[in-house]
Structure 1
Amino acid sequence: MVAHDDKSDPILEEAMDWLLRLNAASQDSALACEFENWLAQSPEHRIAWQKARRTWRVMREVPPVYEHVWRREDPRGITIGSSRRVSSLRSRSHWGRRAVAASIGLAACVVIALNYPALSVRLQADYATGTAETRTVHLIDGTSVELAADSAIKIDMAKGERRVTLLAGEAFFDVTHDAARPFVVAAAGVDVIDLGTAFNVQLSATGTSVELSRGSVSVALPKKATNEMVLVPGEAVVVDRSTGAMQKSTIAQDDIAAWRDGKLFVNDVPIATVIEQLQRYHRAWITIPDRDLGQQKVTGLYDLRHPDRALRALVEPYGGTVRTVAPYVRLITRF
């Protein structure tokens, strides 16, 4: 069993560095000789080299689980994200030809990508948060909005309607009711309409979820007028992004918007979806190449203040291992 801690393995980091250098200068005999000397230093060096090669093969194929947030296109069709580094992660040939150049920008690009919502989202947002950052916004009508980490909202207080668009992440709304001016939260094609309430809305790669703490809300898909559901306190609904299907469930009051207390509560959701939520609280790039592991469904409560511990608690019961390849890379595997 590999020992687990929050620190990176210095020998493994050296092995990854050698792999980058050798890929970029495969014909350099002096470099090859220097590498052979490094490899012969100890059995640990040879083991680290084998791990590095295996990890490299996996990382060349798999994008980060949270890529949909920071890799987007602006209205001109230009991809926005972590620039050449993002493209390199998706191109085998680029890795081979320009590995060292890409590695130089790895830490900086990942930090930028994971500390802020996508640039296209930020350009639209009135308020936004970064990695592991939360914020409370007070609207002019008395409504308060608590933004979770890596979240963004756009506000439109028109005369006939108060509308907040959740552009990314998650937010808890405590709404000041006004019968003459409905309060609507728009989230990826889903409208959550206030009927005098406090509720949480979350976006993910696969859908929109709503949890109701107080009052009542109507959850509707404007493009599908027949799809509408009214929630009462202690109820939650998940709306599938691709099909529009709604799945209702019950939830304990203490578990609604548990992120406000530094916790993440999930009920029968895939590991990959939980990792997507943990990614908003982790400054490292997280990837889970094992699709079967990612689709395992879990129920549990995880500590957002210690995301590495949460990752381990999430995957280890299913045979997963969290590998710290570098300070800003976490690779989740079964080997």
Structure 2
Amino acid sequence: MTQDNHIPPTILEEAMDWFLNLKARENCPQTEHDFKNWLSRSPVHEQAFERALKTWAQLGEVPPVHAHLWRPVAAAPMPARRSRKMWVAGAALALAAYAVAFLAGPSLLLHLEADHITRTAESRTLTLEDGTIVEMGGDSAITTQITASIRRVILLSGEAFFDVAHDASRPFTVDAGGVSVAVLGTAFDVQLADGETTVELARGTVAISYDGSKHRQNFELSPGEMASIDHSTGAVMRSSIAPEDIAAWRTGKMFVNDVTVASAAERLQRYHPAWISVPDAALASRRVTGLYDLKNPDAALEAIVKPFGGRVHEVTSYGRVLTRF
């Protein structure tokens, strides 16, 4: 029997591509048919796919950047040789079901709940009924409620910049992860990440409140200020921000201020077509500040981890793994 270390790199890369293809194209008969044909070519192809399963299961043992979208896959003991093909085929179908439950599921819910949604690396500009202009960043979703008495937007995911039309009789409110931003007429950016909401103020004044289960905050921001609110602790980190860095994504840049590598990678994920994983907890927890190029997300990843001796491994065209070696 061919050993793992004798699997040709090209076949192993094909196996990783199939793993991610099955995730991305769940319940696609043609994809499943093509996969079975590829799998049946030789025992080496079967072993390569088993290796792909083990590799990604191991990466999943540490919470990834998108913990709310991706849960660890439990490693199962390998069956006897005579049932290997059946097990691999079954594992492929299980992975497809897994993708529906943990990958397609949240995306589907967003599509059902959101009034407006963008794809990875896509931006969109909207004009609401009251004249407010909303610029949405990549992989973002919002719902809107504009009536004679209410102006409210819920940021469900991602990031949006708001240039709010002044209306003294109807305050404009943006809700993002339990953080509420209330204004009459102003311009500001709101980012919603896993466990954190960030507000950057370009013009006017905003009143920010956070009503968590154990923590509450109420404060105001002035132009040129930014604040990040931690959902778990209620802690607020305030700092100054240059005008050109506010909503820098609108000009193809990503500005982060004293955030973890994991958080920076999560934000960059909205502009990178590949999945990004940071299985190294020590690297994930390091903190970075900088301006990164969204038009070259791989170079941005390199710049994020380089100060810590980190590297970006291109597992396939669909995956990037950040490590310290």
TM-score, reference length from structure 1:
0.75
The answer to whether the 8 A contact 2:262-2:278 is kept is: yes
Using the alignment, how far apart are the partners of 1:142 and 1:94 within structure 2?
Answer: 59
Alignment partner, residue 15 of structure 1: 12
Using the alignment, how far apart are the partners of 2:256 and 2:263 within structure 1?
Answer: 9
Task: Determine if the alignment matches structure 1 residue 238 to structure 2 residue 228.
Answer: yes
Alignment partner, residue 92 of structure 1: 75
Deviations 1:238-279 (A, max 9, x none): 111112222211100010000000000111111000000011
Unaligned runs of 5+ in 2: 1-6, 19-40
**Alpha-carbon offset, residue 161 of structure 1:** 1.8
* One-letter amino acid of the counterpart of residue 219, structure 1: I
Task: Determine if the alignment matches structure 1 residue 151 to structure 2 residue 134.
Answer: no
The answer to whether the 8 A contact 2:17-2:316 is kept is: no
Using the alignment, how far apart are the partners of 1:20 and 1:300 within structure 2?
Answer: 32
Alignment partner, residue 158 of structure 2: 169
Pick from 216, 220, 234: which aligns with 2:205? 216
Structure 1 range deviating more: 98-107 or 213-222: 98-107
Report sequence identity in percent: 48
Deviations 1:109-162 (A, max 9, x none): 98xx98997211221100000000000010011100000000000001133220
Q: For the structure 1 residues 268 and 12, does the alpha-carbon distance in structure 2 shift closer, same or farther, using more than 3 Å as the test?
A: farther
The answer to whether the 8 A contact 2:165-2:185 is kept is: yes
Using the alignment, how far apart are the partners of 1:99 and 1:20 within structure 2?
Answer: 15
Pick from 276, 284, 298: which aligns with 1:308? 298
Aligned residues: 288
Pick from 309, 312, 322: which aligns with 1:322? 312
SS in structure 1 at match of 2:76: helix
SS in structure 2 at match of 1:169: strand
Structure 1 range deviating more: 311-320 or 130-139: 311-320
Deviations 1:170-198 (A, max 9, x none): 00000001010110001111110013210
SS in structure 1 at match of 2:9: helix
Alignment partner, residue 61 of structure 1: 61
The answer to whether the 8 A contact 2:121-2:270 is kept is: yes
Using the alignment, how far apart are the partners of 1:18 and 1:221 within structure 2?
Answer: 46
SS in structure 1 at match of 2:263: helix
Using the alignment, how far apart are the partners of 2:246 and 2:303 within structure 1?
Answer: 21
**Alpha-carbon offset, residue 31 of structure 1:** 5.7
* One-letter amino acid of the counterpart of residue 178, structure 2: G
The 5 A counterparts of 1:101-250 are 118-222=107-211, 227-250=217-240
Pick from 248, 260, 263: which aligns with 2:250? 260
Using the alignment, how far apart are the partners of 1:154 and 1:57 within structure 2?
Answer: 35
The answer to whether the 8 A contact 1:128-1:150 is kept is: yes
Using the alignment, how far apart are the partners of 1:184 and 1:199 within structure 2?
Answer: 12
Alignment partner, residue 324 of structure 2: 334
SS in structure 1 at match of 2:239: strand
Unaligned runs of 5+ in 1: 1-9, 22-29, 39-47, 72-85
Alignment partner, residue 299 of structure 1: 289
The answer to whether the 8 A contact 2:195-2:230 is kept is: yes
SS in structure 1 at match of 2:129: coil
The 5 A counterparts of 1:15-54 are 15=12
SS in structure 1 at match of 2:279: coil
The answer to whether the 8 A contact 2:301-2:312 is kept is: yes
Using the alignment, how far apart are the partners of 2:232 and 2:88 within structure 1?
Answer: 36
* One-letter amino acid of the counterpart of residue 66, structure 1: H
Q: For the structure 1 residues 222 and 272, does the alpha-carbon distance in structure 2 shift closer, same or farther, using more than 3 Å as the test?
A: closer
Q: For the structure 1 residues 94 and 267, does the alpha-carbon distance in structure 2 shift closer, same or farther, using more than 3 Å as the test?
A: farther
* One-letter amino acid of the counterpart of residue 169, structure 1: G
| Structure with the larger RCO, 1 or 2 (CA within 8 Å, 6+ apart) | 1
* One-letter amino acid of the counterpart of residue 93, structure 1: A
TM-score, reference length from structure 2:
0.77
* One-letter amino acid of the counterpart of residue 115, structure 2: D
Q: CA RMSD in A?
A: 3.7
Q: For the structure 1 residues 174 and 210, does the alpha-carbon distance in structure 2 shift closer, same or farther, using more than 3 Å as the test?
A: same
